[in-house]
Structure 1
Amino acid sequence: MLVITILFITWPWFFVCLGGKIIKSPKIDIFSLNSTNNDTTEIHTICRITSDELIADAQSIVTRVSTKILDERFDLFEKKLNEIKDLVLQMNLQSLSVNLNDRKDKFIVKKNYEYLKTPRQFEIRKFNDTVNEILISNEYFKVYTYFWIIENMKNKLSNWRTGYSQRSNTFYIKQAGYGMYMKITPKYFPDGTIFIAVGLTKSHQDNKLSWPFILKLRIEILDHSPEELLRIDRSSRLWDPLTVCPTYFWQQPAIIGHPDNLECVGLSIPRDILHTGSKYLWNNSLYIKLIVYL
């Protein structure tokens, strides 16, 4: 029985030794070792390769194999990356569409809000329900200011019956504590006069306050002309509780029963000044300003 044992010496010597024939090897040393044991003869063939060219070929093969694997991995990575980029792009387009719609809505809201804002908006926001100082004839006075906005005036002027009125919310004069309210009667007399009044109402500090009420006050209807220098507010005279109306109107409101004192002082204006396009109406609303001198 003939047994042929072929020994392969792996990297860095890469070769093929087949049946004693050496493939692509310019310099090969072959050693044959024979040994006999009874009926068996063993032939050991050793192929030793010292060719630099073959080593270079082996390195080239390994490099090509490695490069092919890397190329496949990079191709797969690039494919996945492109899929991710497409997904991100799609998400960005959707987000952009939402943002554009959102901005469009905000623009419409902002545009409508700008339309609703009166040229007196800054003054109202700054001074409403606050104590501040005003300059009159080179003299400063500390005052409390309150703004009341009466909406849907055209309907009130057209459809309300004579004597019907609307009351404001109760407000409290800061640094004084008195409770007050205002009231508007769109048809105060049959001739169509509008009457805006102010009165006292019950406050949680009434027991600590001085009575009768003696603070001077006035009412104004705001002019909404864009040019500040052209504005002419409709103003009442300055009321002094010590000189107008009986003391009854300025006493402490009843503890039990109706909380409002009857109003004694107010501003009357003709209805025709609130015509369509009137500078005293803004977005169908009438703006009333109360000033209380502290």
Structure 2
Amino acid sequence: MAPTAQQVLNLAASEVGYSRWSDPATGTKYGRWYAERVGVPYFGANGVPYCAMFTSYVLVKSGIMPPGGIFAYVPSGINQARRAGRLVPVASAQPGDLIPFDWNGDGIADHIGFFVRWVRAGVMETIEGNTSTGAAGSQSNGGVVARRVRSTAQACGAIRPAYAAAAAPASTGSSGKPARLVVDGVGGALTVTAAQAVYNTPRDGKITGQWQPNARFWPALTAVGYGSGGSTLVRTIQYWVKTTQDGLLGPDTIKALQSALSVPADGVMGAQTMKAWQTWLNQKLGY
């Protein structure tokens, strides 16, 4: 029985953090698998881009083939999906779809990853192989598996594997407009919920997956959960302020947010920064 889209995304998420640079063996985990699968040693060698092989690996390990079969070259995957009737417009992308990207607009796709959810119109969260964690590195040969936030402007449609059930619409959290925030300089659950509503991320009133030593950088923030994986809210903020999208609220992200809020950029989210953010959130919510 074919897996669900969520099962595939769960496996893709478990691969986040892999780096070819710390892999002790020749080539990459995904290239070695692909080379053995197709009987061509080249794909397991050093320096072979692996974004497409990553998507093939995740799908096959989950129990489903990409439309038309596994592929190592993104344009081949697009052509296979088109022939199979599994290529759809990116505007209708659903969780579990494969999103190919054309970075330089030459009509030839350069990169591919898994669609996770819509952040807002025209902006999506993805899980990609062989990328970088932010805009500073190579987007299609950065060597790591990472969550990214991408614009649809450079997407070349969406490839839809034949999952067991139709992919459900991406969750946008609870509906309804949050109440007006009291601008008190304390970032509790209500402030975080308002931010999650403004940035269109799932609402739970907490910034989760944070690294505890970073707590010294946000004394005015109280609604925090420690752990691994980072926060979807923080990752989305990082996309908009153009910092590394690792989901961790550190000084670089805070400085960029402070600059956007026109407050002193000292890298510490104290009461002044929190009040400015609360005021901005109220404005975005229409108060």
Q: TM-score range by the shorter chain?
A: under 0.3
Q: Choose between structure 1 and 2: higher strand proportion.
A: 1
Q: Which structure: greater helix fraction?
A: 2
Larger Rg: 1
TM-score by length of 1: 0.18
